[in-house]
Amino acid sequence: MTVNMKFPIPSVVFTTLLLSSHAAVAAAPPAEAFFGEPEISKAVLSPKGNYVAYLYTDAQRRQMVQVRDTRNLKSATIAAVSKSEDAPIYSIHWVNEDRLTFTVKDLRVEFEGNYEEIAVNRDGSNVTHLISGNWYHRQEKTGSHMKDRVLTAAYAYYGPTHDGSDDIVVEKHIWNNIDRQPDTSRLYRLNTRTRTLSDLLPGTQPGRVQAWLLDTDDTPRIAYSKDKGRCILSYREKDGKDWTEISNAECYRDTVFAPEFFDSRNTLYVTANYKGHKALYTFDIAKRQRAADPLLVLEGFDFNGSPHIDYAARKLLGLDFLSDARSTVWFDPAMKAAQQKIDALVPGRSNRISCSADCRDPVALLVESSSDRQPTEYLVYTPATNAIVSLGGRHPAIKRADMGQREFHRIAARDGLKIPLYVTTPPGKAEGPLPVVMLVHGGPWVRGSSWEWDDEAQFLASRGYLVLQPEFRGSRGFGVAHFKAGWQQWGRTMQDDLADTAQWAIKQGLADPRRIAIMGASYGGYATLMGLIRNPELFRCGIDLVGVTDIDLMFTSARGDFSEHSLRYDMRTLIGDPDKDADVFRQNSPVALAGQLTQPLLIAHGAEDRRVPIEHAKRLRSALSGNNKQLEWVVYADEGHGLRHENNRIDFYKRVDAFLQGACK
């Protein structure tokens, strides 16, 4: 059976898009309402559906894991409380119906890692420290068996087991003494009460493993490795010891298929090309061949999703996926009916359902609900009574009626390539062309946005700005050709797509051509700088957060965290060769072109950034010192590549607000 999902492209409706910037500004919620720690987040349903756990942040900014009985939601039990603001809880995982674990990140250390893992009963008893976050002691001492004591920071939570035991799966990262990133990893079972560690793999494993795929019995079956520019897939039978190579291809260029998941009947599902886009197929491992027809095709989009599996019934129930918005296709009639009932109770939203491990007769379903104007809210649905109850949401101070609408479009670039685009409009009445902020996503080889709630876009829209978020060439999720069109195009056709988006908005009568700002983080920061340089006639001012300023420095900085493999292979494919393309790098690096950057500019960077070290920002600041008198500069001493701390996020967006109203006016 092939499910072909089509998504109509909405046309521009001028009566809703030509809005006033004045009515929106007066009632704009403060930055804290958008960028403060969420009140309720990370909700997860227990394996049998009897309980839901979630992260709650109180008025004193304390985080705690709360648990509610889905059969009686009136009272909450506190299972855990975070130690400090510098150690927030990042995720919550059920182990079984009585026990859960949660992950804590030490924000005093910027780079990835330093994750604590702690287990606790749902009533707060029997706390067990499983993994230490002391990064400086990540390696084991020689001869240690690590059987019954706290694991080092080399280990991290990987996933649950599905057998009702007290075990979880953990991943041990192994370094090569050259890179800051791990070279390979290995999987283990860890008992959350006794801390007993047991190997999940018999014998040896493939080298340089970057990712694993487990079947529904929690057995590693696929290992994904990268070596010398090649992506290698190795497979083992459920009870086998030997690994067999089933694919060995040049990364990015020759990859034929990508494993996605096993269902409970041991069928492997993969993504592979279908008319230029990735579709979902079943795969015959023995024949190393995908099925003739895809299971799921998303017209105009690559498949990007995850399965719903009933572990008790050993059945694939449905698939979550992302097209222009998040959605679900259900193969199971009962779950399809439940989705329809929930959508009727909560209309106009994307309602993502979580089912327990046994979905045949669920006690309750957890619903993660959001829309373009509604921040994520968590609801519990009881099938027996068709009742739905809200647990609360991420940003309860924000009212749907005060937010703007988001629309999805595809517009034509100058060479004819179709550029997906999200447009967020301010609330209010139509009065004429609007001031614009173009948000450029980071990556850049990722999907940038979706139709659902976007903190940043709605914050800007609430201030009266039309927000444009183009999925420029090189972005993923929109077909192979769209992705490859961005290879080695930093500062060139990738930049043209941004200019073409601005021109489209002007021609549609949506954008005031004298009031267009450009803004982004990481690659988006780079594109902001290049937008000001390449198209000063379009972009009035810019905001650069942790942006790249020198392409060559990405390859040469001693503080950077890219692995040798990435520098030698991946980045040369996607960005270019620092030796052969040295002139091209200089011609498209903001530092080398700083004399042309004269518009108002806000630069913000983290002092501890490893992905884009602060020397990028410092070099640009130095280069601009004699040319740009409209530079605003802020360094966050305790931040890395992004804004993890609540106070810094709020401070940054208050600066953005003031900058746009002042220097960019």
Residue 340 has pLDDT above 50, yes or no: yes
- What is the C-alpha separation between 411 and 435, in angstroms, rounded? 20
CB–CB of 492/578 below 8 Å? no
The pLDDT assigned to 504 comes to: 98
CB–CB of 177/232 below 8 Å? no
For 195-236, the pLDDT digits (tens) are 999 999 988 999 999 999 999 999 999 999 999 999 999 999
- What is the C-alpha separation between 329 and 333, in angstroms, rounded? 11
Give the CATH number of domain 40-292+303-314; options: 3.30.70.260, 3.20.10.10, 2.130.10.120, 3.40.50.720.
2.130.10.120
Task: Please indicate whether residue 313 or residue 394 has the higher confidence score (pLDDT).
Answer: 394
pLDDT tier, 654 (very low <50, low <70, confident <90, very high otherwise):
very high
- Tell me the percentage of the chain whose pLDDT exceeds 90: 79
Residue 429 has pLDDT above 80, yes or no: no
The pLDDT assigned to 137 comes to: 46
- The pair phi, psi for residue 337, each rounded to 5°, is -65, -40
CATH number attached to the domain at 402-661: 3.40.50.1820
- Give the up-direction half-sphere exposure of residue 105: CA atoms within 13 A in the CB hemisphere: 13
pLDDT tier, 20 (very low <50, low <70, confident <90, very high otherwise):
very low
- The residues pairing with 602 across neighbouring beta strands, listed in sequence order, are 543, 632
- The pair phi, psi for residue 446, each rounded to 5°, is -140, 170
Long-range contacts made by residues 342-345, C-beta under 8 angstroms, separation at least 24?
342/367, 342/381, 342/388, 345/381, 345/386, 345/388
0.95 cut: is pTM over it? no
Residues 107-132 have a mean pLDDT of: 86
Task: Please indicate whether residue 80 or residue 602 has the higher confidence score (pLDDT).
Answer: 602
Residue 556 has pLDDT above 60, yes or no: yes
- The residues pairing with 99 across neighbouring beta strands, listed in sequence order, are 121
Residues 104-128 have a mean pLDDT of: 84
- What is the C-alpha separation between 119 and 122, in angstroms, rounded? 10
Residue 135 has pLDDT above 60, yes or no: no
Residue 9 has pLDDT above 70, yes or no: no
The pLDDT assigned to 624 comes to: 95
Residues 473-499 have a mean pLDDT of: 98
Task: Please indicate whether residue 23 or residue 50 has the higher confidence score (pLDDT).
Answer: 50
Q: What is the DSSP string of 56-120?
A: EE-TT--EEEEEEETTEEEEEEEEEE-S-TTS-EEEEEE-SSSEEEEEEE-TTS-SS--EEEEEE
- The tokens for 312 are 């008790």
> Which residue has tokens 């001693």?
558
Helices then strands, each counted (H, E), the chain: 14, 37
SS (H, E, C) 553-608: HHHHCCCCCCCHHHHHHHHHHHCCCCCCCHHHHHHCCCCCCHHHCCCCEEEEEECC
Q: SS3 of 352, please?
A: strand
Residue 334 has pLDDT above 60, yes or no: yes
**Beta strand extents in 444-557 (DSSP E only):** 466-470, 511-521, 541-545
- The tokens for 40 are 């309720």
The pLDDT assigned to 25 comes to: 45
Sheet holding 51-57, edge to edge: 40-45, 51-57, 63-69, 72-81
pLDDT tier, 287 (very low <50, low <70, confident <90, very high otherwise):
confident
CB atoms within 10 A of CB 631: 17
Q: Omega of the bond prior to 613 within 30 degrees of 0, cis?
A: no
- Tell me, rounded to whole angstroms, the distance of Cα 89 from its chain centroid: 17
**How far, in Å, are 352, 368, 447, 489, 596 from residue 379 at the CA level?**
10, 7, 27, 44, 52
Contacts of 525 (CB under 8 A, 6+ apart): 442, 544, 545, 546, 547, 548, 612
Query: How is the chain split into domains, by residue range?
Result: 40-292+303-314, 402-661
The pLDDT assigned to 5 comes to: 63
Residue 109 has pLDDT above 70, yes or no: no
CB atoms within 10 A of CB 275: 9
Average model confidence (pLDDT) for the chain? 91
Residues 554-558 have a mean pLDDT of: 94
- What is the C-alpha separation between 34 and 651, in angstroms, rounded? 12
pLDDT tier, 1 (very low <50, low <70, confident <90, very high otherwise):
low
- What is the C-alpha separation between 519 and 543, in angstroms, rounded? 5
The pLDDT assigned to 566 comes to: 93
Contacts of 240 (CB under 8 A, 6+ apart): none
Strands 289-290 and 268-274, bridge-based pairing: unpaired
The pLDDT assigned to 84 comes to: 75
Q: Which of 260-264, 557-561, 576-580 has the highest mean pLDDT?
A: 576-580
For 374-393, the pLDDT digits (tens) are 999 999 999 999 999 999 99
pLDDT tier, 2 (very low <50, low <70, confident <90, very high otherwise):
low
Residues in the chain: 665
SS (H, E, C) 151-185: ECCCEEEEEECCCCCCEEEEEEEECCCCCCCCCEE
- What is the C-alpha separation between 597 and 162, in angstroms, rounded? 56
- Tell me, rounded to whole angstroms, the distance of Cα 13 from its chain centroid: 30
Sheet holding 115-121, edge to edge: 89-94, 99-105, 115-121, 128-131
For 161-179, the pLDDT digits (tens) are 999 999 999 999 998 888 7
- What is the C-alpha separation between 99 and 128, in angstroms, rounded? 11
The pLDDT assigned to 78 comes to: 94
Residue 83 has pLDDT above 90, yes or no: no
- Tell me the percentage of the chain whose pLDDT exceeds 70: 92
